[in-house]
Amino acid sequence: MVRILQALASLKLTLAGMVLLGIGAALSYGNPVETSIWVLVAPMALLALNLAAAILTNPRINRQPGLLVFHVGLLGLVLLAGIGRLTHLDAHLEIAQGQSFRPELMMDVRKGPWHAGALDKVAFTQGRFTVDYAPQLRRGLTHSQVFVPQPDGTVLELDVGDDRPLVLERYRFYTTHNKGFAPLLTWIPHEGEAVTGLVHMPSYPLFEYKQDNRWTPPGTEEDIKFWLQLDTGLTLEDSWVLDGRNSRGVLVVTSGDQRIELKPGEEAQLPHGRLRFERLTTWMGYRVFYDPTIQWLFFVSVAGVFGLGHFFWKRLSLVAWTDDDKGPDSKGGTA
Amino acid sequence: MNNIVAEQPWLWAGLVAYLVATLVAMWGLSPRLAGVEGGVARQHEKVVLASISLGVLLLTIAIAVRWVRIGHGPWLNLFELLMSQLWSLGLIYALLYWRLPGLRPSAAIVMLVMWILGSWVLLLEPLPSHFPATYYNFWKWFHVGLGKVFLGLLLAGVGLAGVMILRRTERGRQWFRAMPTDAVIDRLAWRLMMLALVFDSLMLITGAVWAQDAWGRYWAWDALETSSFFTWLLLAVGLHVRLSFKLPPWLSGVIIISIFVLAFVTYFGIPYISPAAHKGMV
Ligand code: HEM
């Protein structure tokens, strides 16, 4: 048993594991979909075994507290990162002004098999937002207003954006460059109930040149095309603020050979019903992130580095860095 | 030639000071000084230290003047990064030069390496840069500062590595006759590497915190993250290779130089081939 552990603890195995991890990292560059997570997990598992064995059997590690803390920290990081992958959630969210968060609004949801967050307790309503731009359309600060209901019945208004996420139930909502306009439309069919809904136009100003979308009313085969003509004050030469309150839009509706321009409040008569352009509103794109391990990752890694610092400090003070440096170096032979 | 902007004269003056340090450090290796009594032979070291310090002071002014001119620190474009690295590498090296007399002759190598940055910055236009939303974050101070110490320690290691390699020739042995034995240099070099690992690890941790704040993820294997992970791993490999095998000093030197090259490419190459990382997008 001890023999096996000592073999597992070999430093040559450490080197092999590190080379494999390097290859795994190279394969993971850019997170290609076709690369299996195992290219990282396998070398990390090997190194974790190797390291655990070394910690148990190699007195050069386990008798030097600083070095021990550092290597245990490494083991902790691998473990935490693993737990993080099993419990995480990553998603995108597009939410319009006035809309309340519902989990179904999230898109591209990717989550670990053990994910168990209280997503159903997350409640907020999106308000308006502004984004500052420097000349040449270089993005500055984003200010996104959100309303969060409190247990005592009041509503808390928060300003989030960029590196200030909205954090609710450990879910973190980060604003992204992805945001734009959304006409609010009501469809009144010849028969049946009227429906009101939003059509999200492509991200603005990134796709300023193609603010279009299409929609087919339920129960028909009519292909309605929307094109939003916007006046947002956008300029290339000057600073500019993207702000829904300063933006006007005319909705160009095309169906078959009919082409109608609608201002907010106006209606179009189409083959299967009437379409009313209620008003122009905006949507904000968030990145949703949940990983219960991040604080622990931080603490464990900082503690590990302090261990290494302590070990180094002891080494440093053992001997002077000069030619008469004949003092004991704490390890035999190789130095 | 375009108009000269406010920081350029200060930058050039700083580089002239570094040039003086480089030439005097090289002169200090001259065989003519062989046999001269130790104290006299080391007189020039004061000039080297003073010139590097003066260079750092002049670069401090250059950075401050630019900061006032464009309204933010030297965090963004290549011109700014090179200028700021010339400043911090000079500062850290001056401190090591002062505190560790044993490594002083290797300044000739270190200052020559510094000239890769020095001549590069002269080729670039001092264009103003845009300050992206993600750069208001205060973690950038820690991340950037720790990275500067990391690179400074690696640079000092490169000087020692160069000595171990050059000493394989007769001329090299002459040049660096005033330095301790290879065994001592090797030990000193790897202690610098271990300290570099401490700062590298802290740089990666603070970088991950910043990335979490800025992009909502702490690690995503983008070009910069992958490349800096390689650098960290190579440092770990280097330290463990030394524990498992008895390395000849020149090979030890080659490993240290490869770590520096990788770190150098991570700093000054990767951010400019991959526009996605560390740049504010629309
Ligand atoms: C994963 C498996 C690993 C194993 C089994 C392992 C094992 C060891 C052992 C046995 C020592 C000897 C201590 C001594 O002789 O003084 C050591 C030293 C050290 N290890 Fe590791 N290690 C591992 C990973 C790492 C990693 C990933 C890093 C850093 C990136 C690292 C950094 C260090 C440092 C800085 C030293 C001190 C080097 C010196 O004294 O010159 N180790 N390790």
The string over A88-105, giving b where at least 16 C-beta atoms fall within 10 Å of a residue's C-beta and e elsewhere, is bbbbebbbbbebebeeeb
Whole-complex ipTM: 0.87
Q: What's the residue count for chain A?
A: 335
Mean pLDDT value of segment B209-231: 90
Question: In whole numbers, what is the pLDDT of chain B averaged over residues?
Answer: 89
Q: Do B237 and A15 touch (CB under 8 A)?
A: yes
What digits encode the pLDDT tens for the residues B102-115?
Answer: 889 999 999 999 99
Non-local CB neighbours of A272 within 8 Å, separated by 6+ positions = A189, A190, A217, A219, A220, A222
Mean pLDDT value of segment A251-276: 90
- Chain B residue with Cα closest to A300: B205
The pLDDT value recorded for residue A236 is 87
Q: Do B201 and A141 touch (CB under 8 A)?
A: no
pLDDT > 70? residue B242: yes
CATH no., domain B1-123: 1.20.120
Nearest CA-CA distance, residue B86 and chain A, Å: 26
A14 lines ligand 1 (CB under 6 A): yes
Q: Helix or strand or coil: residue B202?
A: helix
Is the preceding omega at residue A205 within 30 degrees of 0, hence cis? yes
Q: Do B215 and A335 touch (CB under 8 A)?
A: no
Confidence of residue B33 (pLDDT cuts 50, 70, 90): low
The pLDDT value recorded for residue A318 is 60
Question: In whole numbers, what is the pLDDT of chain A averaged over residues?
Answer: 89
In chain A, residues with a C-beta closer than 8 Å to the C-beta of B205 are 298, 301-302, 305
Q: Helix or strand or coil: residue A182?
A: strand
A60 lines ligand 1 (CB under 6 A): yes
What digits encode the pLDDT tens for the residues A172-226?
Answer: 999 999 999 999 999 999 888 899 999 999 998 899 889 999 988 888 888 899 9
Best substitution site from B188, B243, B262 to test ligand 1's pocket, by max atoms within 8 Å of Cβ? B243
pLDDT > 50? residue A98: yes
Q: Indicate the range of A21-25, A322-326, B169-173 predicted with least confidence.
A: A322-326
The pLDDT value recorded for residue B38 is 56
Confidence of residue B40 (pLDDT cuts 50, 70, 90): low
How many A from CA of B240 to the centre of ligand 1?
Answer: 6
In chain A, residues with a C-beta closer than 8 Å to the C-beta of B220 are 31
Nearest CA to ligand 1 atom 35: B194
Confidence of residue B36 (pLDDT cuts 50, 70, 90): low
Nearest CA-CA distance, residue A195 and chain B, Å: 34
Q: With CA atoms as reference, report the closest residue to A284 among A235, A226, A243.
A: A243
Helix, strand, coil % in chain B, rounded to nearest 5: 75, 0, 25
Nearest CA to ligand 1 atom 2: A51
- Chain A residue with Cα closest to B131: A140
Cβ atoms B210, B179 nearer than 8 A: no
Parse chain B into domains and list their residue ranges: 1-123, 132-282
Over pLDDT 90: what percentage of chain A? 66
Q: Do B136 and A298 touch (CB under 8 A)?
A: no
More confident position, A222 or B166: B166
Parse chain A into domains and list their residue ranges: 2-88+294-315, 96-290
A263 lines ligand 1 (CB under 6 A): no
Residue found by looking up tokens 């580089």 in the block? B15
pLDDT > 90? residue B134: no
Cβ atoms B162, B156 nearer than 8 A: no
How many A from CA of B160 to the centre of ligand 1?
Answer: 22
* Whole-model pTM over 0.90: no
Q: Which two tokens stand for residue B207?
A: 């970088």
Nearest CA-CA distance, residue A268 and chain B, Å: 35
The string over B165-187, giving b where at least 16 C-beta atoms fall within 10 Å of a residue's C-beta and e elsewhere, is bbbeeeebeebbebbbebebbbb
A114 secondary structure, DSSP code: T
What digits encode the pLDDT tens for the residues A48-68?
Answer: 999 999 999 999 898 999 999
Confidence of residue B35 (pLDDT cuts 50, 70, 90): low
DSSP string across B206-273:
HHHHHHHHHHS-S----HHHHHHHHHHHHHHHHHHHHHHS---HHHHHHHHHHHHHHHHHHHHTHHHH
pLDDT > 80? residue A108: yes
A331 lines ligand 1 (CB under 6 A): yes
Mean pLDDT value of segment B24-52: 80
Mean pLDDT value of segment B67-88: 90
The pLDDT value recorded for residue A179 is 95
pLDDT > 80? residue B1: no
The pLDDT value recorded for residue B280 is 40
Q: Indicate the range of A94-108, A212-226, B225-239 predicted with least confidence.
A: A212-226
**Chain A with chain B: Cβ pairs closer than 8 A:** 136
Q: With CA atoms as reference, report the closest residue to A123 among A154, A101, A92.
A: A101
The pLDDT value recorded for residue A105 is 94
- Chain B residue with Cα closest to A317: B191
Phi, psi of B136 (to 5 degrees): -75, -15
Cβ atoms A254, A227 nearer than 8 A: yes
In whole angstroms, what separates CA B130 from the centre of its chain? 25
Q: What is the 3-state secondary structure (H, E, C) of A52-106?
A: HHHHHHCHHHHCCHHHHHHHHHHHHHHHHHHHHHHHCEEEEEEEECCCECCHHHE
pLDDT > 80? residue A330: no
The pLDDT value recorded for residue B145 is 93
Mean pLDDT value of segment B154-177: 94
Interface test with A, best of B139, B203, B213, B282 (most A CBs within 10 A): B282
Q: Do B209 and A298 touch (CB under 8 A)?
A: yes
